[in-house]
Amino acid sequence: MSFQADALDIELLTRLRDDGRASVTALAEQLPLSRSAIHQRLERLREAGVLRGFSPVVDSRKLGLGIAAVVLLSAGPGTTLDWETVRAGVLALPHVEYAALMTGEADVLLLVRVADFEELRGFLLEEIRRLTGARGTLTSLVLDEVVRRPFLLPGD
């Protein structure tokens, strides 16, 4: 069931995407709504599960995690991974920023961030082997992150 967002909801979410720390007062100054109306819309978006929280945007490289890699996991020919088992295993993995079950040649996509190639090697050769059902990986290094949005809105 999708939430029916109107143009003001989209504009409010756009402003929050640009500055997640914007106060209700600042949002009311930018939009044709009162503080009370902004607050009500934010509460409605939270209750509907559209607005799930606020998170800082962090530059991982400045924290020493300068290597990003996309790791594709597969179960192997003719087999499938039990997603609930994989989900539990992936949640326990270090270095995983994003994980998704997918269709196609691979079963799981991971975005991994590590400090150096030794740490990436340890992740691939030791940590991934602990996942039940994982039979193979394909790893690609990220050379440059061109687009990185916290979320997309209809029309983006």
Task: Indicate which CATH number applies to the domain containing 36.
Answer: 1.10.10
What percentage of the chain has pLDDT greater than the value 70? 96
Tokens of 106: 């691979």
Same structural domain, 40 and 87:
no
- Please tell me the pTM assigned to this model: 0.83
Are residues 100 and 73 both part of a single domain? yes
Q: What angle do CA 105, 113, 100 make, to 5 degrees?
A: 35
Check whether residue 33 and residue 84 sit in a common domain.
no
Q: How confident is the model at residue 21 (pLDDT cuts 50, 70, 90)?
A: very high
Q: What is the mean pLDDT of residues 27-54?
A: 95
What is the span of the domain harbouring residue 110? 63-141
Q: What is the pLDDT of residues 129-156, one digit of tens each?
A: 888 777 889 999 999 999 988 889 988 8
Give 81 or 111, the one with higher predicted confidence: 111
> How many structural domains does the chain have?
2
Please indicate, yes or no, if residue 151 is contained in any of the structural domains. no
User: Is position 134 within any domain?
Assistant: yes
Would you say 149 and 156 are in contact if contact means Cβ atoms under 8 Å apart?
yes
Q: Are 107 and 80 in contact (CB under 8 A)?
A: yes
For the chain, the distance separating the N- and C-terminal CA atoms, rounded to the nearest angstrom, is 21
81 and 43 share a domain?
no
- Quick one: pLDDT at residue 78? 62
